[in-house]
Amino acid sequence: MFCVECGREGKLYESLCEACFRKKTVLAKLPTTIDAVRCVSCGSLFLDKKWAASKDIIKDAVSFSVKYHNDAEECDIGVKSVYKDERNADVMVKVKGVILGVNFTEEHASEVK
């Protein structure tokens, strides 16, 4: 079998060689801006139309906002944040996962407000 994109022979993933599969496949999507609504009294985070306790509001808001590829497995995220002020932070999100046996690692930038 050969890759329908470049013609390379070998193992295929959805009719593509690994290199072409990586170019055309996105492990995760993350919005450029994430709105995190926090209760001023108890510190809970408002997610999916309900309040939830949160020890790390930034990571929880990012985790909830990440949308993974339908075939993604073994997904994990790491979040590094730099606060611009007490309510806003720039975040770098490192996402790892496996799609059809291929390991992916991606980095995404976002802002949590």
- Per the domain annotation, does 79 fall within a domain? yes
Cβ contact 108:81 at 8 Å: no
Quote the CA–CA distance of 97 and 87 in Å, as a whole number: 30
Arithmetic mean of pLDDT over the chain: 95
- Per the domain annotation, does 94 fall within a domain? yes
Is residue 43 pLDDT above 90, yes or no?
no
- Per the domain annotation, does 91 fall within a domain? yes
pLDDT of residue 104: 99
- Per the domain annotation, does 20 fall within a domain? no
pLDDT of residue 13: 96
Q: Which domain holds residue 33?
A: 27-112
- Per the domain annotation, does 15 fall within a domain? no
- Per the domain annotation, does 17 fall within a domain? no
Task: Identify the bridge partners of residue 94 per DSSP, sorted by sequence position.
Answer: 78, 107
More confident site: 39 or 67:
67
pLDDT of residue 47: 86
pLDDT of residue 29: 98
DSSP string, 16-52: B-HHHHHHH--SEE--SEE--EE-TTT--EEETTEEE
pLDDT of residue 3: 96
SS3 64: helix
What is the rounded average pLDDT of the residues 14-40? 96
Give me the number of domains the chain comprises: 1
- Per the domain annotation, does 21 fall within a domain? no
* Pairing relationship of beta strands 102-112 and 89-99 according to DSSP bridges: antiparallel
pLDDT tens for each residue of 74-98: 999 999 999 999 889 999 999 999 9
- Per the domain annotation, does 11 fall within a domain? no
Look up the pTM and report it: 0.86
pLDDT of residue 1: 87
